[in-house]
Chain A
């Protein structure tokens, strides 16, 4: 009862917030937002109009209502348009629109990488982008004055100044990705349905806007080095391979007691390797947790895990590994182990995110499900947890959050490819007494251990004495359905709940 009331209080608070926000008119600063119709702007940017329709992971047989988003894309040489991957995620329809004339052309995604949040879009009509003047890529320096290009409704360019305050490696919105970011200060106004816009300097592209916080007037942009790496990888003859990683984690080696412990008696550099993911590039190269990383190639690594970049100065080695190297590059890592220096040859690769037991993101992909007599089986994914809303890290089932966050620990050596779960129950005559069950891990069906949901069909083909026996992790242990009754009831289940399908494997 108490919790219900608290919920009401939260609801009213969340309802109140947008109203308040509306009352505050956006501040206009003409000096900062001078429109520049005469610049080469309008001819270098294009509107990217997208209809997105993601799957509903709580009702995996259906999609959420479609919604439209408008963004500004940068026209690049080769008649292609750069935009953010978020913009085209789960896109059902994509078109490009000329800012001045409003002329439209259907488009397709050529290459997309959700981890670096970039996408290349191609117009279906090769002539459509001909009149545009493509943007070249250039690299700004810290302290430079940049401009963010948005479009007014009438097609004129809205040119907002932005100061590049910091360059550092930070978290990207999707997956567990950390790449270089430009931190900007800018008083940007809202146009279109988001902040996906090119960041330019002297008419050359330097970044794509990633996020904007209107309260602190700060923005993050995907920087030129990440865009350059993405474009180069996109043109690879062997296909797009993503950003390389070592799959190891490091911790600062500032603490003199820790330095003495690892045998570093002189020098100032070296970073502590705190974890090496089994089977990852660093592991394969023989690097172990507890080693000290002294240098990558000829670049020395300091005690915080930074190196000196020729252009940006002190940056995390994550940038060096992900952006200065490409998939398949062999790089010597100089390490210190028990006081002795040695070199490990690391073949940098991009690990396949779908190889994780709990997928970090599931985009443009229909989630698997199987409905057995009303019991809904799914595979645990982070997208499923994100269905609990913006506060999913607090509100989603705690056990699943724990499994996701600590999956490398929890599922070390686990033979499963996916965690099969009983996500919820559509009540039917077969599921009497099971209605309250939800978010439980399924370990086996009819005695067959499930490595992924794909195994369920074979398991269900062999009922035990006419019963389907579903083994759950933890209480109640096992639940049972009558196999004949489940089959007989299936048409009614489909009709009653208006299901387009009973399974998707």
Chain B
């Protein structure tokens, strides 16, 4: 009798033969590990190395590029604008994405099929196309301006494109699926009896939502926020096309310094700062998530 469970656990956690293949685990991981080291880790490490140099010949190492970046008001402004943009987009997608995920979780299977297509389709449609859509919508002859002029709210078309709000709205639309999908997953895992119990014990809909559903969906919210944040601070195409030339964000700054100004060390430093701020936020959020898990589990 006791042999059966131990056998079962051995099967559930296969040690040496991976998935039944006559290959060792390390043999299976090796190709990707080599590729990853050569073409992700290596290049990023080199980027870090290049950023520590002020001369193009890479002879003396110092923090000159970072001092130059952080010591300048314009550069700090670009960094803040980028991080601030990421935060605004994240909050906006959470505000409209959570209700959509909630609606999905209480819909009938037939409607769920429709909703999931509406959510996944934009995700897999080219971001350039979706950005282009916003140029059509917000342009001088776009649908918003035409409508506002037609109903008499405006006399002449307003400048909607190339404004900070336009970038936030366009990016929120583009990143919305990344927020909705993890929340859908986590909501599907919540026992409906919990909500039912709370309702029948007299808590109202709002209270049930705020004290039962919302806390239980925290892991999905965090995952969604991380994905949207990381993706919107580095959304080069949308930032550039909808933001126009007057708003500068970190990704375009990297591109401009590298390709247009040919200043690779400085551009590498900007890239490292962007990388560090994204990684910093990811790590901080994960730590927060671990603490919250403790709270939820009691």
**A and B part of one assembly:** no
